[in-house]
Every structure is written in structure tokens, then in C-alpha cells.
Amino acid sequence: MFELSHLRCFVAVAEELHFGRAAVRLNLSQPPLSRQVQLLEHALGVRLLERTSRVVRLTRAGETFLPEARRLLRLAEGAALAARRTASGEAGSVTLGFTAASGYDFLPRFIQTFRAQAPGVDLVLKEMVSADQFESLAAGRIEIGLVRPWFNRREFSSQLVAREPLLLAAPEGHPLAQAAEVALADLDQQPMVTYSPYEARYFYDLVAALCASAGATPHYVQHVSQIHSILGLVKAGLGVALVPRAAGNLRFDGVLLRPIALDARSGEAPNLVELHAVWQPTNTNPALATLRGLLPRVG
């Protein structure tokens, strides 16, 4: 069987039609060069070159074999380059899980950055709730996830990548929709659409804790898991809701979003929502390392 070195020597001689020039081009002396071409001809069982003291010519078999030899060399060089790029994280693929809400703002912005900075890496996206992402991480079905921070899983590494406030969503015409900002205490006895304690546990606990801290007891009329569903129910007039600021990108007609007043004691927003990236620290995929290096760090 012939080797790549045989092909390189043959192509050089075939293109130069001169053993001396081909030897200089390959930084070889002529005897080893001639030997490489002879070994190739022996492996193929055909003569590729006609040699005389004055000229070197391709045989018909050589003319046929030359473009195939060039193609094989390009394939070999391409394979080597692909291997090096994959090892360095410049190529390959990585599978990312994400929650629906992260797709409203953070994920589109991150994808734009990722495609610009790592164009050779294939990003495979899978939408799933946070709990399912942890199961998929453990099973190897995804390699990194975008989740809400209710988790306590020490086997995973994590990084805070986004933080945003909750806003009040109210139907047009609602008294609270007319205010420049809303205090959490204003939610007392208000009909309110909130989150499912099962599929959206993080948001459910956060809203409940915020209302309790302000001494407000809303009248919860519906529990649903998806933010776009909550906005639809608000639009229908079932009640108000607390939603992440990124929900404004959904642009629901008939629903107004109002900021929550800062905490009087700390002067800070009392209702920040966090998004974390999580991954298996034992994952050695170079493309995952590339993705992690592009994630924003939020202090």
C-alpha cells in the first residue's frame, strides 16, 4: 500500500517534470525522491512516469492518477487540520440546554457572540426546564445548561451569566398599569397569575418570598409554567403577574410592564432573577471550553 509521502513525491515530480527541481521543492536529494516514486509505482502496479536522460513525462496512467493523488493529499491535510481545530476548540460541536425564558433575551445575544467568535463550532440547542437539564447533564445528553439557581448539585460547576429584575405585568386599564413604578405591597389582595410550583419552582418560590417580605397576600387565580402563557392570561384580564424584564421582548399587545420600586432600606432592586450556566467539570470536550470562555461573568 502506498503512503502519503509517496504521493507528495509523485505530485512534485509530475508538476515539475524534473527530478532535480522536485527534490529542491521537497528539500530532498534525488535518490530518495526517485525511490519514493518507484515504491508508489510498485504499489500500484503501473508506471506513472517515463524517464529519459533528457525529459520526464507522465504516462497515461500517471495523467489519470495525478488529480486523484492531489485530492488524496488535500483530504489528508484537511483531516489533519480538522483534528487540530477540534483539539483546540476551534471546531467540533457542543450541546446546550436552555429554559424558554432564557430564549427571550440572553440566549439570542449569546448565540450571536458565539457564532462570531467560534464559527467552526456547531452549537446544538435543546429547550427544557431546569430539572430536565440536570438529568440530561448527568446522562450526557447535553454538555452545558442555562438554568435557574434553585439547584444544589455539587457534582456540577456553575457560573452566573445574567441577572435581571422582575417587572409587574398588568392589563391596559388596570390601576397599577397607570403608575410609573409599583411597590410590592400594592399586590396585596390583587388577582394574580403566578408560576407552577412544579414546572417553574424557582419563579414560584421567588414571587411568594417577595410578596411575603412586603406583607402582600395576592389572590392567586392561575398557576402556569411558561411566561408567554402568563402574559396571555394577563392580557385576558385574569390578573397581574411578575415576569422577568426579558419578557418585554415578547411584546404582548394589551399588556403593560412596570418596574418594581427599589427597596427603601437598601436602595436596591429586591427582585433580581438569575440565570446560571452549569456543566460537568469532568467534560473534556474542547468545544465546551470554548463556549464557556465566551460566557459573560456577572458579579
| 92-161+274-294 topology per CATH | D-Maltodextrin-Binding Protein; domain 2 (3.40.190)
Q: Where in the chain is the domain with CATH 1.10.10.10?
A: 4-88
pTM passes above 0.75? no
Q: What does the pLDDT look like over 50-95, one tens digit per residue?
A: 988 778 899 999 999 999 999 998 888 888 777 787 777 778 899 9
Q: What is the pLDDT of residue 147?
A: 94
CB neighbour list of residue 102: distance below 8 Å, 6 or more residues apart:
146, 162, 275
Q: What is the pLDDT of residue 268?
A: 55
Residues 228-253 as b/e (b if ≥16 CB within 10 A, e otherwise) read eebbbbbeeebbbbbbbbbbbeeebe
Q: Where in the chain is the domain with CATH 3.40.190.10?
A: 92-161+274-294, 163-273
Q: What is the pLDDT of residue 269?
A: 57
d(CA 249, CA 121): 28
Count helices and strands in the chain by DSSP H and E runs: 9, 11
The ranges of the chain with pLDDT < 50 are 266
Query: Class for domain 4-88, per CATH?
Result: mainly alpha
d(CA 64, CA 69): 9
Most distant CA pair in the chain, distance = 104
Q: What is the pLDDT of residue 145?
A: 96
Pick from 127, 128, 162, 167: nearest CA to 247: 167
| 163-273 topology per CATH | D-Maltodextrin-Binding Protein; domain 2 (3.40.190)
Q: What is the pLDDT of residue 51?
A: 87
